[in-house]
Amino acid sequence: MALAHLCLPGYTAPMKDGIETRLYVDAPLAAGGAVPLGLDQTHYLRNVLRLGPGEGVALFNGRDGEWRAQIAAVSKKAAELAVIEQLRPQRPEPDVWLAFAPIKRARIDFTAQKATELGASLLWPVMTRHTMVDRVNTDRLRANAVEAAEQSDRLTVPEVREPAKLETLIEAWPEDRALILADETGGPPIADALAMHRDRSLTRAGFLIGPEGGFAEAELDRLRKLPFVTPVSLGARLLRADTAALAVLAIWQALVGDWTTRHD
Amino acid sequence: MALAHLCLPGYTAPMKDGIETRLYVDAPLAAGGAVPLGLDQTHYLRNVLRLGPGEGVALFNGRDGEWRAQIAAVSKKAAELAVIEQLRPQRPEPDVWLAFAPIKRARIDFTAQKATELGASLLWPVMTRHTMVDRVNTDRLRANAVEAAEQSDRLTVPEVREPAKLETLIEAWPEDRALILADETGGPPIADALAMHRDRSLTRAGFLIGPEGGFAEAELDRLRKLPFVTPVSLGARLLRADTAALAVLAIWQALVGDWTTRHD
């Protein structure tokens, strides 16, 4: 785990069984196991959270559910956690992808954080004709996703893919996954499109959000001809790319995903 | 108009009839009229956009639609615009309020911008038991809303109210406006609640989003007993307050507001 902790301001750590800290780790989690922490997570635990031996931490790795652990040892450069008992089993999560033309730094961080809170299972930067950003720091995207997963009580971290050209994304897109295109030139209302397709498997879906300058006409033509693409409209106001990304994920969760069942 | 222009990075100005700049003004707008600009907007026009006499600007004031105007004169401290012709008539807009416990600076700016893009008609900071921020710069909130309205092609700017205590908000809340409470302790799924109430007038609605620490139990009890309050759930993951605010507005627009009609 060489993920830098970004120490995003403003998160309120969840209180769960008196444990206020959740950490995402790579190691397998099972009762009696020991989990070593690398330099960055040790620094976070020791110098940011000021936790020491005996204190509790919740761990998850995206595979084994959530576990209560205790700090067994901590030095300047390394720490070891003792895994005690399972708090929550791993459960299936919504399967919705977000492919998006990358935007500038603060707002791409923000998109990764919010998309993670909103339950995206995969984040995929896509380079389109009018995309103004030509480099994407995927390590940073992933660090944002990890921190948001830790803070939002998720049991997984979304997969972060390396940036792809639009044509590469189209070729790699699974045909049984609906690609829902936020089409700024118009289309059926998003709620109608999602309701219409609820019979088909919209539970495996992905959204594609263009750059601030919009898709090129040729790109829209190419996309609309694909059998797995559904264009949708998000109203007449101009939305920034990050707003559109969060809007579609929230609407999908409300109509198709795991916000459709009662949570008490 | 003494609104500072924040020059938010990353917006792509809309291209409309060759006009790339939209300005919100207070003055009445009619063909042949003249609109004076104050110091801040003059600075923005002259030094940020580097526009000079003869160049076109679109104007709106929230009452008279959108107008094409031309820069008639510009000096260091003032400018005058000549109003030429109407581009769009004023139209009714969705009527959805956002009441929210204020959060820290960058994220409250962000909430005002995104809520404006998503069509909120009123922004109202509300002080609850666990709200950690005790001062709100409503001028700054309003400047963010103005800039987002200019960039998102809106014909109005949301009203920004002065912060109120929760009890004051409850007393001032119109009884014929549904208050939809984002209830982190659970409740019916938001899509079900919105669908159920579609017969009643959910077209006049407002959302209430609590602080990062959540509402106090007594506050939730008080709210749930009010006849115009509908609690809704936003799933099991923990959402940051700004994420929740944007999510509910997007879902309302998709199910009740003006994203329900086709836009081409």
The predicted-structure confidence for A189-200, as pLDDT tens digits, reads as follows 999 998 876 655
Check residues A19 and A25 and name the one with the higher pLDDT: A25
B257 contacts in chain A (CB < 8 Å): 235
Quote the CA–CA distance of B229 and B208 in Å, as a whole number: 10
**Least CB–CB distance from B212: residue in A10, A110, A251:** A10
| Chain B contact set for A240 (CB, 8 A) | 10-11, 114, 117, 151-152
In angstroms, rounded to a whole number, what is the distance separating the alpha carbons of residues B41 and B143? 12
Which among A137, A122, A134 has a CA at the least distance from the CA of A208? A122
Tell me whether domains A22-88 and A95-255 share a fold: no
**CA of B187 to nearest chain A CA: how many angstroms apart?**
6
Inter-chain CB proximity B153 and A114 less than 8 Å: no
Rounded to a whole number of angstroms, the distance from the CA of A76 to the nearest CA of chain B is: 32
Calculate helix-pair angle for A138-151, A105-117, nearest 10 degrees: 40
pLDDT at residue number B164: 97
Strand partners, B98: B123, B207
Q: How many CA atoms lie within 13 A of A1 on its CB side?
A: 24
pLDDT band, very low/low/confident/very high, at B27 (cuts 50, 70, 90): very high
pLDDT, tens only, B16-26: 556 789 999 99
A257 to chain B, closest Cα gap in Å: 9
Measured distance CA(B258)–CA(A263) in Å, rounded: 28
Residue B79 or A213, more confident = B79
The whole-model pTM stands at: 0.91
Nearest CA in chain B to A212: B12
A203 vs B137, residue with greater confidence: B137
pLDDT of residue A12: 39
B14 interfaces chain A, CB cutoff of 8 Å = yes
Average pLDDT of A133-138?
90
Q: How much is the pLDDT for B262?
A: 77
Q: Which CATH architecture has domain A22-88?
A: Beta Barrel (2.40)
Token pair recorded at residue A182:
């936020």
pLDDT tier, B146 (very low <50, low <70, confident <90, very high otherwise)? very high
Handedness of CA A51, A53, A54, A58 (dihedral sign): positive
pLDDT-derived band at B9, boundaries 50, 70, 90: very low
B26 vs chain A: nearest CA distance in angstroms? 21
Mean pLDDT, range A138-152, rounded to an integer: 96
Q: Which helix (H) or strand (E) holds A107?
A: helix A105-117
Whether chain A has a CB inside 8 Å of the CB on B260: the answer is yes
Q: What's the mean pLDDT when you consider all of chain B?
A: 90
Residue pair A223/A254 in contact (Cβ under 8 Å)? The answer is no
State whether residue B6 sits within 8 Å of chain A by CB.
no
Closest residue on chain B to A10 (Cα): B104
pLDDT in tens, B172-211: 999 999 999 999 888 999 999 988 766 556 778 999 999 9
Compute the nearest-CA separation of B73 from chain A (Å): 30
pLDDT at residue number A195: 83
Band the pLDDT of B102: cuts 50, 70, 90: very high
Pairs of residues, one from chain A and one from chain B, whose beta carbons lie less than 8 Å apart: 164
CA distance A98 to A124: 6
Q: Tell me the per-residue pLDDT of A244-261, one tens digit each, with 9 for 90 and over.
A: 999 999 999 999 999 988
Backbone dihedral angles phi then psi of residue B248, each to the nearest 5 degrees: -65, -40
* CA-based nearest residue to B146, from B136, B157, B155: B157
Average pLDDT over residues A159-178: 96
Sorted by sequence, the CB contacts under 8 Å of residue B203 that are 6+ apart come out as B94, B95, B256, B257
Q: Model confidence at B12, in pLDDT bands (50, 70, 90)? A: very low
Lowest-pLDDT choice from A124-128, B4-8, B40-44, B117-121: B4-8
The reply to whether residue A262 touches residue B189, judged by beta carbons under 8 angstroms, is: yes
CB A89 within 8 A of CB A72: no
Q: Which of B15, B72, B71, B74 is nearest to B43 (CA)?
A: B74
Confidence band of B10 (pLDDT split at 50, 70, 90): very low
Residue A213, chain B, CB below 8 Å: the answer is yes
Chain B contact present for A92, CB below 8 A: no
Contact B238 A152 (CB under 8 A): yes
Task: Pick the residue of A104, A248, A259, A261 with the most B CBs within 10 A to test the interface with B by mutation.
Answer: A259
Domain boundaries, chain B: 22-88, 95-255
The matching CATH number, chosen from 3.90.1330.10, 3.40.50.2000, 3.40.1280.10, 3.30.70.141, for A95-255 is: 3.40.1280.10
C-beta separation of B164 from B127 below 8 A: yes
* CB-closest option in A117, A119, A238 to B151: A238
Report the gap between the CA of A236 and the closest CA in chain B (Å): 6
Let me know: does A23 contact A153? Beta carbons within 8 Å. no
Cβ(B242)–Cβ(B102) under 8 Å? no
